[in-house]
């Protein structure tokens, strides 16, 4: 096989491959075996017909076409490995020469990972927020706990903002009651404005047993957007009663005997959480610095793919939340043009970040072993709420192994950057990057999960370390990047 590479742009190449027919023997063997099972030739059992009769039965041209379709993908993969091309996405293939028993030639145009040098990140300065919790933040957490132990008691007065009421709702359009638009015994906090526009105004000042009617536009259902007369009846008016922040509350709400001990525990837990947040923020800012320091051309196809992935993800989230894109843009104070520009900027940064981490991994000869892939599967499975072995099997069956492999290697590349960086908080204190803190799951649970994932992860490692996967992994732009 003869190959030649022409650089069309810094991010796209044209690969020319020429193959003599004798090197297509394997492709023809596979083709003949496949066709022999499909055709029926008198005197031969299915799968046993000789090649010359298959040529005559289906036509030599059809046989050659089938063999070429089988051979080209394998020849292409062999060529990009031979030429050390880091291909992104699917190539545009064109057969340029096909002469029976002579030669097959084809070209393949494909986007490639850009070539660039990563600036020296030894001693890179990174600043993160302070991790120490303030007293106001501690008190906020204590008050949140206090809210959880609140009780509702009768108000003994008309409704005010913030009260909790039990109400009935019914609606009518042009005097005709809507049987499907009514509810009884609905609990509602006045002032949240989460049900119907105008309901809060109608409720304020009402007493138990009273009814009132107001006009509003219905939301959702068959009558969405229609103006209707809604009648609300108040059954009860209650106020939230909070417990006193004393030692008795500490004993009721925790394992501690005093409020002083409870606050100390809250402060300690908040410090741990903020410590992890601080380290994650430092990683993000270190990667941002690298992205800003590298000037590299990016393949349009990679950016467009990332834009499409992000847009699809947002649309799914909005659909699950029952929101429209218009309402989302309104809540963000964005125009359609501003949204698209922000989407493209984010996708561009993500793609560049992925390429940078890939280059660091290549320069430092980083890879992912079985234990690291296992840990990745365990962590992802915990976040998704599935068992590790289920996720491992899914990654194998859906051909997503390169995503897992790339995720792990890129994370190791970013870990290396962090090891060499100098990280301080806003107060000037040097942040120790090896915290040794646990992110949540206990060691015993993590160990059980790792055992469950081991078998699937072993299969992951076998496939992920193949040359084909290593090459295709270069094209995966994952969310973490």
Per-residue pLDDT of the chain (481 residues; tens, 9 = 90+): 899 999 999 999 999 999 998 888 888 888 888 887 777 776 676 666 777 777 777 788 888 888 899 899 999 999 999 998 989 888 999 999 988 888 999 999 999 999 899 999 999 999 999 888 889 999 999 999 999 999 999 999 999 999 999 999 999 999 899 888 889 999 999 999 888 999 999 999 999 999 999 999 988 778 888 899 999 999 999 999 999 999 999 999 999 999 999 999 999 999 899 999 999 999 999 999 999 999 999 999 999 999 999 999 999 888 888 788 888 888 888 999 999 999 999 999 999 999 999 999 999 999 998 889 889 999 999 988 899 889 888 888 887 888 889 999 999 999 999 999 999 999 888 888 654 443 333 333 344 444 344 444 444 444 444 433 334 333 343 333 2
**pLDDT tens-digit map of 140-189:** 999 999 999 999 999 999 999 999 999 999 999 998 998 888 899 999 99
Provide CB contacts within 8 A for 306, sequence distance 6+: 347, 348, 350, 351, 477
Rounded CA gap, 9 and 109, in Å? Answer: 11
Amino acid 312: pLDDT: 92
Helix, strand, coil percentages, rounded to 5, for the chain? 50, 20, 30
Question: What sign has the CA pseudo-torsion 80, 83, 89, 92?
Answer: negative
d(CA 372, CA 448): 16
Q: Rounded to whole angstroms, how far apart are CA atoms 426 and 126?
A: 10
Distances (CA, A) of 464 to 68, 187, 312, 389: 28, 54, 27, 17
Tell me if domain 2-112 and domain 151-241 are identical in fold: no
User: Which pair of structure tokens corresponds to residue 103?
Assistant: 């030669």
pLDDT for the residue 434: 59
Per-residue confidence (pLDDT) for residue 235, from 0 to 100: 95
CATH level 2 (architecture), domain 151-241: Roll (3.10)
| 2-112 CATH fold | Alpha-Beta Plaits (3.30.70)
Distance of alpha carbon 415 from the chain centroid = 20
Round to whole Å and give the CA distance between 283 and 374. Answer: 23
Sign of CA dihedral 91, 92, 97, 98: positive
Q: What residue spans define the domains of the chain?
A: 2-112, 151-241, 265-297+348-473
Q: Please state the separation of Cα 52 from the chain's center in Å.
A: 53
Q: Which residues pair with 166 in a beta bridge?
A: 187, 236
Q: How far is CA 39 from CA 32, 36, 215, 281, in A?
A: 10, 6, 74, 63
User: In what helix (H) or strand (E) does residue 396 lie, and over which residues does it extend?
Assistant: helix 388-397
Cα separation of 475 and 450, whole Å?
28
Whole-number Å distance between alpha carbons of 116 and 355: 9
Contact call for residues 197 and 217 (beta carbons, < 8 A): yes
Question: Is residue 240 within 8 Å of residue 150, measured between CB atoms?
Answer: yes
Residues 5, 85: contact at Cβ < 8 Å? yes
Query: What pLDDT score does 213 carry?
Result: 95
């Amino acid at each position: 096989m003869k190959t030649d590479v022409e650089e069309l742009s810094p991010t796209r190449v044209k690969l020319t491959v020429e193959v003599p027919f004798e090197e297509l023997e394997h492709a023809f063997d596979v083709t003949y075996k496949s066709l022999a099972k499909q055709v029926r030739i008198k005197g031969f059992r299915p799968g046993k017909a000789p090649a010359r009769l298959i040529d005559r039965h289906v036509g030599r041209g059809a046989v050659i076409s089938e063999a070429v379709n089988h051979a080209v993908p394998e020849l292409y993969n062999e060529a990009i490995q031979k030429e050390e091309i880091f291909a992104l996405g699917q190539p545009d293939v064109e057969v340029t020469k096909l002469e029976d028993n002579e030669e097959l030639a084809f070209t393949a145009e494909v986007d490639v990972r850009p070539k660039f040098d990563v600036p020296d990140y030894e001693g890179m300065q990174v600043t993160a927020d302070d991790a120490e919790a303030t007293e106001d933040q501690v008190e906020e957490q204590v008050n949140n706990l206090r809210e959880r132990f609140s009780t509702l008691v009768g108000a003994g007065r008309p409704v005010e903002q913030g009260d909790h009421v039990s109400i009935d709702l019914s609606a009518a359009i042009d005097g005709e009651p809507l049987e499907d638009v009514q509810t009884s015994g609905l609990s509602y906090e006045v002032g949240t404005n989460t049900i119907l526009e105008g309901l809060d105004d109608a409720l304020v000042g009402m007493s138990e047993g009273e009814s009132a009617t107001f006009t509003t536009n219905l939301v959702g259902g068959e009558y969405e957007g229609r103006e209707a007369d809604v009648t609300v009846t108040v059954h009860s008016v209650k106020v939230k009663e909070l417990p006193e922040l004393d030692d008795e509350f500490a004993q009721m709400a925790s394992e501690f005997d005093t409020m002083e001990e409870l606050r100390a525990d809250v402060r300690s837990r908040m410090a741990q959480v903020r410590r992890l947040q601080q380290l994650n923020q430092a990683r993000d800012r270190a990667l941002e610095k690298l992205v800003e320091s590298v000037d590299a051309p990016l393949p349009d196809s990679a950016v467009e793919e990332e834009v499409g992935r992000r847009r699809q993800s947002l649309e799914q989230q909005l659909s699950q939340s029952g929101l429209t894109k218009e309402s989302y843009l309104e809540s963000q104070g964005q125009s359609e043009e501003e949204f698209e520009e922000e989407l493209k900027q984010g996708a561009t940064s993500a793609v560049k970040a992925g390429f940078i981490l890939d280059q660091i991994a290549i320069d430092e000869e980083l890879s992912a072993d079985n234990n690291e892939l296992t840990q990745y599967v365990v962590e992802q499975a915990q976040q998704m709420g599935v068992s590790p072995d289920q996720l491992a099997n899914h990654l194998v069956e859906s051909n997503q192994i390169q995503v897992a492999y790339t995720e792990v290697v890129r994370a190791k590349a970013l870990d290396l950057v962090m090891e060499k960086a100098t990280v301080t908080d806003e107060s000037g204190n040097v942040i120790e990057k090896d915290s040794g803190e646990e992110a949540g799951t206990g060691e015993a649970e993590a160990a059980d999960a790792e055992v469950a994932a081991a078998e699937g992860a072993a299969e992951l490692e076998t496939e992920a370390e193949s040359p084909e996967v290593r090459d295709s992994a270069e094209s995966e732009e994952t969310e973490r990047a």
